[in-house]
């Protein structure tokens, strides 16, 4: 095919000096004509220098957190296809061709490289267990589009990148990406890839409990924004149940004796009932607001061209027809 596509490789990094140089060189070998950007998030171990020596364009993002880095990357870089990978060397750059090919052949807006054998190779059993729990929770709340919402190896279309609001600050940004795709019903797919261990000298920045709490909070906030009726109904149901627990003994005594000796309990139960009704009502109203916001986001998404105007130098583009590789299978 004669059509050319501009591809940008985006590598968010924080203290990855031991891996980033080789990672940039491997991406350069896998995608020779792609532009490679390393966004450094206040590293103190020489990560920017190693990235520059390997030939990457380096940009510093001062606000700490992967969400800030991704938001900056998506705002700064204009391309037709984006490949994003973590800077720790756990994802193989050789798989980038498969991600891009799947994005093109499936006409998808996001391809997620799901991690094969993550429960055995993640390095920390707490992370692997939490990954399974959060994926199960995601599928029960937001839908079954994804089986590995925390994968950091993804390919995006220009439409996705330029329509993604990116409000998260930290590692919960991958969850927000997945919810954005599910909310707008964007075409997405998954590709199962090998996931390696960190090399010696490289350490995970994740904290099992701290980051797990942040992700759980993000789940709640995204549910409030995208499924407000279900969110407020759950809270309302808790208030309703508590109200009935206080109310039933008072009513039982009233029907037996005709008296209400525990008047404060009755007043308290009625107050809880009113709160439950208000929560149900708020959920109904906000559900309509959320539907309208989703429609607006979808319309905005449709106004974005799949490819940018090609007035840039052709040297930054690579052919659409990539050589076919064996041994990979897309999963949806």
Mean pLDDT along residues 116-134: 65
| pLDDT for residue 76 is more than 80 | yes
Residue with tokens 């076919």: 324
Which residue did the predictor score with more confidence, 122 or 61?
61
- CA 109, CA 298: separation in Å to the nearest integer? 13
When pLDDT is averaged across residues 114-128 and rounded to a whole number, the result is 61
pLDDT at 314: 42
Task: State how far the Cα of 98 lies from the Cα of 224, in Å rounded to an integer.
Answer: 36
- Is pLDDT at 170 greater than 60 in this prediction? yes
pLDDT value for 130: 75
Q: Beta strands of the chain (E only): which ranges? A: 4-13, 35-40, 57-60, 81-84, 110-116, 154-157, 188-194, 317-319, 330-331
pTM: 0.81
How large is the average pLDDT for residues 5-34? 93
Instruction: Report whether pLDDT(85) > 80.
Output: yes
The tokens describing 110, both together, are 């996001």
- Name beta bridge partners: 114: 192
Helix (H, G, I), strand (E, B) or coil at 258: coil
Q: Which CATH superfamily is domain 7-121+140-200 in?
A: Spore Coat Polysaccharide Biosynthesis Protein SpsA; Chain A (3.90.550.10)
pLDDT on residue 320? 44
Residue 206 has a pLDDT of 60
Residue 136, helix vs strand vs coil = helix
Mean pLDDT calculated for residue range 306-332: 49
Closest CA to 93 of 154, 8, 30: 30
Residues 186-202 have a mean pLDDT of 76
pLDDT at 59 over 80: yes
Domain spans, the chain: 7-121+140-200, 228-303
- Provide the pLDDT confidence category of residue 205 given band limits of 50, 70 and 90: low
Chain-centroid distance, C-alpha 186:
14
Return the ∠ at Cα 144 (arms to 87 and 91), rounded to 5°. 15
- Sorting pLDDT into bands at 50, 70 and 90, what band is 199? low
pLDDT higher than threshold 60 for residue 223? yes
pLDDT value of position 331: 45
Confidence of residue 235 (pLDDT cuts 50, 70, 90): very high
Measured between alpha carbons, how far is 149 from 136 in angstroms, rounded to an integer? 10
The reported pLDDT for the residue numbered 326 is 45
Band the pLDDT of 286: cuts 50, 70, 90: very high
């Amino acid at each position: 095919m004669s059509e050319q596509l501009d591809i940008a490789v985006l590598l968010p990094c924080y203290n990855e000096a031991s891996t980033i140089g080789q990672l940039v060189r491997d991406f350069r070998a896998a995608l020779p004509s792609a532009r490679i950007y390393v966004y450094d998030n206040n590293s103190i171990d020489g990560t920017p220098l190693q990235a520059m020596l390997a030939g990457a364009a380096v940009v510093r993002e001062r606000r700490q957190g992967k969400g800030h880095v991704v938001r900056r990357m998506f705002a700064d870089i204009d391309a037709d296809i984006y490949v994003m990978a973590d800077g720790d060397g756990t994802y193989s750059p050789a798989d980038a061709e498969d991600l891009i090919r799947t994005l093109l052949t499936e006409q998808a807006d996001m391809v997620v490289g799901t991690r094969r054998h993550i429960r055995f190779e993640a390095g920390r059993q707490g992370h692997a267990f939490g990954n399974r729990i959060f994926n199960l929770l995601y599928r029960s709340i937001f839908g079954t589009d994804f089986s590995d919402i925390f994968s950091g190896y993804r390919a995006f279309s220009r439409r996705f990148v330029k329509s993604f609001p990116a409000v998260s600050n930290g590692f919960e940004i991958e969850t927000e990406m997945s919810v954005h795709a599910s909310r707008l019903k964007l075409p997405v797919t998954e590709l199962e890839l090998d996931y390696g261990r960190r090399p010696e000298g490289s350490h995970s920045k994740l904290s099992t409990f701290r980051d797990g709490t942040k992700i759980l909070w993000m789940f709640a906030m995204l549910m409030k924004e995208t499924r407000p009726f279900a969110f407020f109904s759950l809270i309302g149901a808790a208030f309703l149940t508590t109200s009935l627990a206080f109310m039933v003994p008072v009513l039982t005594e009233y029907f037996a004796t005709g008296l209400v000796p525990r008047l404060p309990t009755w007043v308290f139960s009625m107050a809880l009932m009113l709160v439950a009704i208000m929560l149900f009502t708020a959920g109904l109203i906000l559900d309509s607001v959320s539907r309208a916001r989703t429609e607006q986001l979808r319309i905005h998404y449709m106004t974005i061209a799949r490819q940018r105007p090609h007035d840039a130098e052709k040297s930054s583009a690579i052919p659409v027809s990539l050589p076919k590789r064996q041994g990979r299978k897309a999963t949806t």
